C-alpha cells in the first residue's frame, strides 16, 4: 500500500510541478488581482455615477419587494438591509445589474490584456514573407521528365538540350 501512496504522491508532484499547472496558478492569482481592481472600479467609480444619474440613489441597493412576511408593513422596508433584517423576500435587481457590469468590464479588461500581450509577443518576430525558392529543375521538352536546370542532356531520353543561359554580371 505504501508503494501505491508513493506512486500517487509522485504522480501528483509531477502534475503539480508541470508548467501548465504553474501557469494556471499564476493566472488565477493575477485574475483575482484584476477582479479586485475591476470591482473597485465599478463600486467606487461607475456605480456612484449611475446612482447620480438615477437620482442620487445607491444603485446596488435597488430592489423590488416580492413578499412581505406577516406583521411587516411595506412602509417599514426603507432599504435592502432593512428588508433583509425583516425577512422580506426581495428581487435585488440593482446587485444583478452591478454584477453584469462587473462581468462586462472584466471581459473588456481581459480582452485588452490578451490583445496587448499578443501584440507584444509578435513585436519581436519579423513577418517577412519568404521569397519563393528559385526552381532547381526544368522539364525536358522531348519526354516531359523533370531534370536539373544545369543538365545539357536528358538522363531519361538522352536528348540533347540547350545549354543553360549564363548570367552576365
Q: Are 156 and 145 in contact (CB under 8 A)?
A: yes
**Reduced to 3 states, what is the DSSP secondary structure of residue 125?**
coil
Topology annotation, domain 2-123: 1.10.1200
pLDDT tens track for 64-116: 989 989 888 888 888 888 998 999 999 999 888 888 887 888 788 778 888 88
- What is the Cα–Cα distance from 61 to 51, expressed in whole angstroms? 10
Total-model pTM: 0.51
Domains of the chain: which residue ranges? Answer: 2-123
pLDDT band at 169 (very low <50, low <70, confident <90, very high): very low
Amino acid at each position: 500500500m505504501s508503494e501505491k501512496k508513493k506512486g500517487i504522491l509522485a504522480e501528483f508532484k509531477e502534475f503539480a510541478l508541470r508548467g501548465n499547472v504553474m501557469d494556471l496558478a499564476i493566472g488565477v492569482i493575477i485574475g483575482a488581482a484584476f477582479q479586485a481592481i475591476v470591482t473597485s472600479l465599478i463600486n467606487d467609480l461607475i456605480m456612484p455615477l449611475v446612482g447620480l444619474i438615477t437620482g442620487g440613489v445607491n444603485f446596488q441597493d435597488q430592489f423590488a419587494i416580492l413578499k412581505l412576511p406577516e406583521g411587516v408593513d411595506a412602509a417599514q422596508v426603507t432599504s435592502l438591509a432593512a428588508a433583509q433584517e425583516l425577512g422580506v423576500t426581495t428581487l435585488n435587481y440593482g446587485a444583478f445589474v452591478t454584477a453584469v457590469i462587473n462581468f462586462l468590464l472584466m471581459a473588456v479588461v481581459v480582452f485588452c490584456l490578451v490583445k496587448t500581450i499578443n501584440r507584444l509577443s509578435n513585436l519581436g518576430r519579423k513577418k517577412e514573407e519568404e521569397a519563393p525558392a528559385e526552381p532547381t529543375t526544368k522539364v525536358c521538352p522531348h519526354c516531359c521528365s523533370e531534370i536539373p536546370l544545369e543538365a545539357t542532356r536528358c538522363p531519361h531520353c538522352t536528348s540533347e538540350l540547350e545549354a543553360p543561359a549564363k548570367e552576365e554580371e
